[in-house]
Amino acid sequence: MERFTPRIRDVARIAGVSTATVSRALSKPDLVSAETLETVRAAVAETGYTINHAARNLRQQRTMGVVALVPNLANPFFSRILAGVSAVLTQAGYNLLVVDTAGPGVDPHIARTLDRSRADGLIVFDGLLPSEDLRPDPLRPPLVMACEWIEDLSAPRIRIDNEAGARLAVAHLAQLGHARIGHLPGPAANVLARARADGTRKELLAQGLPIRSDWFLPGDFSLDSGRRGARDWIAMQDRPTAMFCASDQMACGFIGEAQRRGFRVPQDVSVVGFDNIDLVDHITPALTTIRQPRWSIGEAAAQVLLSLMADAGAPPPDTVLPVELIIRHSSAAPGAG
């Protein structure tokens, strides 16, 4: 009565053929005669055989797995992106492994352990990983960088035009009539933060508006730093009338704190965010922001990686997805109302 896991050789025995034939019947049916195929199918059904993936993987020298390296899995920003990645990978028969590169006690050189026996491909969402652990190397699986990137690492990038997004935001505020525009950037180490700050400066310049370093407050993308930003803003005697925040989280923190201190948004200060994360159209006032196509970013990253794994030919070095300004109610003409 005890059960045991059937092996390919059990199927072969019952079907009266060799294991080679069973293997072919299952993975390359064209190579096998119709009649043998039928016999094998019957034997498979009878035994309830299922393939042992470890054995196949060893023989074929691949894992059918792709690792996504995510900085802080707890950040809901990544959920939709990972869903896009998952959809494409599943379709192609690959498994999605997720590694949180920012968990407590995570080895900073985690990427070093990701060789070809662990994954067939890597999607790197963390721009702060040491580049020497990811350098092209025959031992290392192909990789793409998505959202963030590592400056001195040559690999396909899937990203949005962060600079253009920032410029859209600033241009929007300028068009509303704001001449005093401040910026709450992300952490200086982060490439996205730098790109968005650069875009902010460029558009201010293009609009002929002042670029004042005291209006560039310290920020780190977090809700809390948004709150601190609001306090800093309040503390100034010579305040900007509009703030462009490099993340929606900060924008929410900023608005919440400003309101708590008795300021009205957008009457006293206009706020624009970045990302269009869930629910920001439900805060009051609904947040004007720059939308990132998160699902598409995930899809595109997976697709580029698949083509990279398939032929290793020259892949598109950069995929830049469009951003979009979404105007809601946190931005208005200065002094309005």
Partner DNA sequence: CTGCAAGCTGTAATCGATTTCAGGAACCTG
Partner DNA sequence: CAGGTTCCTGAAATCGATTACAGCTTGCAG
> Any contact of residue 316 with a copy of itself (CB under 8 A)?
no
Q: Amino acid letter at 40?
A: V
User: What crossing angle do the helices spanning 8-15 and 34-47 adopt, rounded to 10°?
Assistant: 120
CA distance 156 to 19: 41
Contact segment (CB under 8 A) with a copy of itself among 98-106, 127-135, 173-181, 208-216 equals 98-106
Coil, strand or helix at 116: coil
Contact segment (CB under 8 A) with a copy of itself among 17-25, 38-46, 209-217, 252-260 equals 252-260
Among 27, 33, 79, 175, binds a copy of itself (CB under 8 A): 79
Scanning the structure block, which residue is given the tokens 């020259």?
Answer: 314
Query: Which residues on adjacent β-strands are paired with residue 288?
Result: 272
> Any contact of residue 113 with a copy of itself (CB under 8 A)?
yes
From the list a copy of itself, DNA, none, pick the one residue 154 interacts with, judged by a Cβ distance below 5 to 8 Å according to partner type.
none
Give buried/exposed letters for 316-327 (b at 16+ CB in 10 A, else e): eeebeeebebbe
In the stretch 57-96, what mask flags binding to DNA with x, by CB under 7 A? -xxxx-----------------------------------
Scanning the structure block, which residue is given the tokens 């503390």?
Answer: 235
Contact segment (CB under 7 A) with DNA among 15-23, 285-293, 303-311, 312-320 equals 15-23
Query: Hey, how many other C-beta atoms are within 10 angstroms of the C-beta on 5?
Result: 10
User: What are residue 80's phi and psi, to 5 degrees?
Assistant: -70, -35
Classify burial at 208, counting beta carbons within 10 Å of its beta carbon; exposed 0-12, middle 13-18, buried 19 or more.
Answer: exposed
In the stretch 132-171, what mask flags binding to a copy of itself with x, by CB under 8 A? -----xxx--------------------------------
Q: Amino acid letter at 156?
A: P
> Any contact of residue 90 with a copy of itself (CB under 8 A)?
yes
CB closer to a copy of itself out of 73 and 128: 73
Coil, strand or helix at 9: helix
CB of residue 119 to a copy of itself, shortest distance in Å:
9
**Is the preceding peptide bond at 185 cis, omega within 30 degrees of 0?**
no
From the list a copy of itself, DNA, none, pick the one residue 162 interacts with, judged by a Cβ distance below 5 to 8 Å according to partner type.
none
Cβ pair 134, 78 in contact under 8 A: no
CB of residue 315 to a copy of itself, shortest distance in Å:
22
Contact segment (CB under 8 A) with a copy of itself among 7-15, 158-166, 172-180, 276-284 equals 276-284
CB of residue 3 to DNA, shortest distance in Å:
13
Cβ pair 156, 316 in contact under 8 A: yes
CB of residue 121 to DNA, shortest distance in Å:
18
Q: According to CB under 7 A, which residues from 27 to 56 bind DNA?
A: 27, 30-33, 35-36, 49, 51-52, 54-56
**Is the preceding peptide bond at 218 cis, omega within 30 degrees of 0?**
no
Cβ pair 149, 297 in contact under 8 A: no
**What is the 8-class DSSP label of residue 208?**
T
> Any contact of residue 195 with a copy of itself (CB under 8 A)?
no
Cβ pair 129, 111 in contact under 8 A: yes
CB of residue 121 to a copy of itself, shortest distance in Å:
14
> Any contact of residue 24 with DNA (CB under 7 A)?
yes
Among 7, 13, 212, 329, binds DNA (CB under 7 A): 7
**What residues line the site for a copy of itself (CB under 8 A)?**
3-5, 48, 50-55, 57-58, 61, 63, 65, 72-76, 78-80, 82-83, 86-87, 90-91, 95-100, 103-106, 113, 115-118, 137-139, 223, 252-253, 255-256, 259, 277-284, 295
